[in-house]
Chain A
């Protein structure tokens, strides 16, 4: 193979190049973080591994596309879509919880896997029926269509925006979890479910809210990614869900900080892996996942589960 490893490795001795690559990795990390934190939150409270979480991301992107086309003439249509799409997905998520998931919490985890697997299949077909198989895409808002210079290299404004939004969501979530009553309830439910219901918390409502919130985070990631130029199609779900799993496993299922750490590790490893050993870059992430599972099955920042 004609691999010129040398010229890529020279990047490591050039601070400009390193910073630029780190930033590129950071924007990938932030999307992964948004998806993974929803997945992790749902697992932490509901103890369900939501295989259909990638479908929430996909629905976020499709909803954003649909809203952008609906409000095509209106100024600020991108912003309307960006705000509304996660809300729509959160509503759908809440409905899914009430209509379907609620009946299976006390079933074995195989039934839970099966149900979310069924949802993947159904949602993909519904999207296909509604929007067709053609690739859709939306344009960046004019406000963010340019680029800024980072160490002499142009870097997209939109990616900065994405990083800022995701960090703001992370901070907001952290504040909610740490400082509010709802947050305390969620954390209590995550560590001891029986105790929470004994304390008089409305557990069913809590579960619906948490699932809706998790789905909304996935939807937000989808809408943000659509704006970044990711082609919208009914196969987006399967593409993203495995990466999201890797992130939560590395970071720790049920750990909010773990999602952030896991996303950063996976995104930066992928970015620098492509620079150094492009042929194997994407196998690295699976190896990292397997190693973490072997040495610390509950993830870097997670807590061991009781059987």
Chain B
């Protein structure tokens, strides 16, 4: 009896998993992604050849004990779209670094852990990485709550933590300390970049909407603060804070439309942003007002797809489809060759963080924490989107942001941002006086 049940249960789980696997095998993503990217790849082949030539002198294979780096991300649920790519970006950087002789002649090695977007799990995994794997450095995190928890751990245990993805400006500005660094943009750079573009436009009557947690609030305040500074006549007629992971935006959409704003600033990300846009379309939302989005990268562009309304203003940290610099094209090509995927923003951020760490260790000439922390301060390196500097005062980097408006692409199977205005991170980053004021207010 029990045996029979056991067998049935087993078969059930097996059937579910097999069914699942077969779905992936035959269904999957219908977009002819591979073919389309090849176009982009073709365009860049020549550039790639040049670069390969530069890198030819074969370096000695790395030797000695590996430099171990712990990488922490929420790899499943809502964050997967950013973090699965980020891990691949980290891996690509590590394989390039090791192929070029490693860091200080030693190989670099990653240990990746899942945080489930939970600060508690993240701290437990961080302890496991530091105590069991004996990693020398930490990278990663998505979700500002997790970033802060890991940052606090880094502070107490004097271990360097490079925040590669999580964006809330609080981590480096208000709560910054000696051991936390961020190689990605923060909400200030991203928010203000969009604000500088919106300040040139006629809209003055705004409604803001953002997910009701630290990131959402930071992203709205950092944008609106800058916009009102540049353009004092801007007024906010309503602020809406839907919960994160909100499936139904209808009541928010109808409430916004009743306000008849000139523009709506939205700081939702991932699924929330997709829900909002797709549900707003049939209300004629995009004929009545302008949507200004915190950012819009491949995750949103692809998921909204052919329905994407034109003219949404948004920032992007890596619009590779329009960047013609050799560095950006080389990264796009290499990443595609290594993974068979187009790089989402996470891929670039994971890649960049790894380069930053490797460069700092080289500069310090040792893996000793204090020396590497010193080396990270004012470190300047070239990334696929240009040169970045980790500011010594608050450890925040200053990558570029492009602000453009959405349009259906003729070449690619998904909409893109066009009329891109590059905004240099160093022009909009928090001033040192502002960071000091924030820290004093803590």
Contact = CB atoms under 8 A, between A and B. Distances in A.
Nearest to B23: A130
Interface stretch (B60-68, B242-250, B402-410, B421-429): B242-250
Interface stretch (A175-183, A224-232, A292-300): A224-232
* Most chain A beta-carbon neighbours within 10 Å: one of B247, B274, B279, B283: B247
A71 to B, nearest CB: 10
Chain A interface size range: 35 or more
A239 B275 CA distance: 13
Interface in A106-156: 122-123, 126-137, 139-140, 145-147, 153-156
Given A132-B84, A147-B284, A230-B279, 7 more contacts: A21-B251, A70-B27, A95-B12, A99-B8, A128-B80, A235-B77, A235-B245
A233 B271 CA distance: 8
B47 interface: no
B130 interface: no
Given A8-B238, A99-B9, A155 B250 contact: no
B240 A274 contact: yes
A133 B254 contact: no
B236 A2 contact: yes
Given A122-B13, A154-B282, A135 B76 contact: no
Interface stretch (A43-51, A211-219, A275-283): A275-283
B278 A137 contact: yes
B60 to A, nearest CB: 39
B36 interface: no
B78 A228 contact: no
Nearest to B307: A139
Nearest to A61: B247
Given A2-B239, A99-B8, A231 B258 contact: no
Interchain residue pairs A-B with the least CB separation, the first 8: A133-B80, A229-B278, A156-B282, A154-B284, A130-B20, A231-B271, A271-B251, A231-B274
A235 B78 contact: yes
Interface in B10-58: 11-13, 16-17, 19-21, 23-24, 27-30
A20 B11 CA distance: 50
A7 B207 CA distance: 12
Contacts of A85: none
B238 A7 contact: yes
A278 B238 contact: yes
Interface residues of B, number: 66
B252 A274 contact: yes
Chain B interface main SS type = helix
A204 to B, nearest CB: 15
B303 interface: yes
B306 interface: yes
B307 to A, nearest CB: 6
A190 interface: no
A147 B238 contact: no
Contact of B250 (A11, A24, A131): A24
Interface in A232-291: 233-236, 238-240, 270-271, 274-275, 278-279, 281-282
B17 A126 contact: yes
24 contacts: A4-B238, A21-B251, A21-B258, A24-B251, A28-B251, A66-B23, A70-B27, A99-B8, A100-B9, A130-B21, A133-B84, A134-B81, A135-B81, A135-B274, A135-B303, A137-B305, A139-B307, A140-B282, A145-B282, A153-B257, A154-B283, A278-B239, A278-B240, A278-B241
A44 B287 CA distance: 47
Contacts of B287: 154
A279 B17 CA distance: 42
Contacts of A128: 76, 80
Contacts of B27: 66, 69-70
Contact of B299 (A27, A135, A158, A278): A135
Contacts of A230: 247-248, 275, 278-279
Contacts of B13: 122
Interface of B: 5, 8-9, 11-13, 16-17, 19-21, 23-24, 27-30, 75-81, 84, 236-243, 245-248, 250-255, 257-259, 270-272, 274-275, 277-279, 281-284, 287, 299, 302-307
Contacts of B250: 24-25, 27-28, 159, 271
Contact of B24 (A1, A131, A270): A131
Contacts of B274: 135, 137, 229, 231
A43 B283 CA distance: 37
A199 interface: no
Nearest to B245: A239
B9 A235 contact: no
A233 B29 CA distance: 14
A278 B243 CA distance: 11
Nearest to A20: B254
* Most chain A beta-carbon neighbours within 10 Å: one of B240, B243, B248, B259: B248
A69 B30 contact: yes
Contacts of A4: 237-238
Nearest to A279: B241
B35 to A, nearest CB: 15
Nearest to A21: B254
Contact of A231 (B11, B16, B303): B303
A206 interface: no
Contacts of A140: 282, 307
A3 interface: yes
A167 interface: no
Contacts of B80: 128, 132-134
B284 A229 contact: no
B239 A3 contact: yes
* Most chain B beta-carbon neighbours within 10 Å: one of A126, A130, A136: A130
Contacts of A130: 19-21, 23-24
A131 B30 CA distance: 12
Nearest to B26: A70
Contacts of A229: 274-275, 277-279, 281
B239 A1 contact: yes
Contacts of B239: 1-3, 278
Contacts of A225: 247
Nearest to B80: A133
A158 B56 CA distance: 59
Interface string A1-22: 1111001100100000100110
Contacts of B305: 137, 139
Contact of B259 (A7, A134, A282): A7
A135 B303 CA distance: 6
A210 interface: no
